[in-house]
Homo-oligomer: A and B are copies of this chain.
Amino acid sequence: MVAKRSSESSESSEESLAPKTVVAQGTFDILHPGHVHYLEQAAAMGDRLVVIVARRVNVDHKATPICSARQRRDVISALEVVDEAILGHEEDIFVPIEELEPDIIALGHDQHHDGSAIEDELAARGLECVVKRAGPREPKYEDELLSTRLIIDRILERRS
């Protein structure tokens, strides 16, 4: 079912067969298998995965990303499970959601976002969109570095 404004007609069996768009989002500064896991889980929730890559100005809950937003978008675009990667909006993070009208927003397992606050904002904007959360990615090997922060810490430990 294609995401639609709640004021529009309710679902029919025809609509429910329409491809589902999933939106995932994040910073994706230094790509690691945890990112891949999150995006694979997001892709599996629907038929088309669009990834919103946070601009530097929108990253206020952790250190400023090392790589530019465009570079991070270009790397995410190259992943097999990603149909499209776009940059986030500088002021209102819901603007691309309004444009994309996704059926599902997939949050990462450890992302700080409050799913129910997002659902409230979606409802306030008349968007019918479900918020789901991806499951955790357990380390496969002892030496996996499953966050950008861990990779950066290892770089500082080994190279500085």
Contacts and interface: CB of A to CB of B under 8 A. Distances in A.
Q: Is the interface of A mostly helix, strand, loop or mixed?
A: loop
A95 interface: no
Contacts of A151: 30, 66-67
Contact of A63 (B74, B144, B159): B159
A4 B81 CA distance: 34
Contacts of A78: 33, 36, 40, 79-81
A31 to B, nearest CB: 5
Contact of A67 (B32, B71, B75): B32
How many copies altogether?
Answer: 2
Contact of A145 (B31, B64, B67, B144): B67
Nearest to A56: B143
A30 to B, nearest CB: 6
A124 interface: no
Contacts of A36: 74-75, 78
A68 B141 contact: yes
Contact of A141 (B71, B144, B158): B71
Interface in A111-158: 140-141, 143-145, 151-152, 154-156, 158
Contacts of A82: 80
A129 to B, nearest CB: 26
Interface of A: 30-33, 36, 40, 63-64, 66-68, 70-71, 74-75, 78-82, 140-141, 143-145, 151-152, 154-156, 158-160
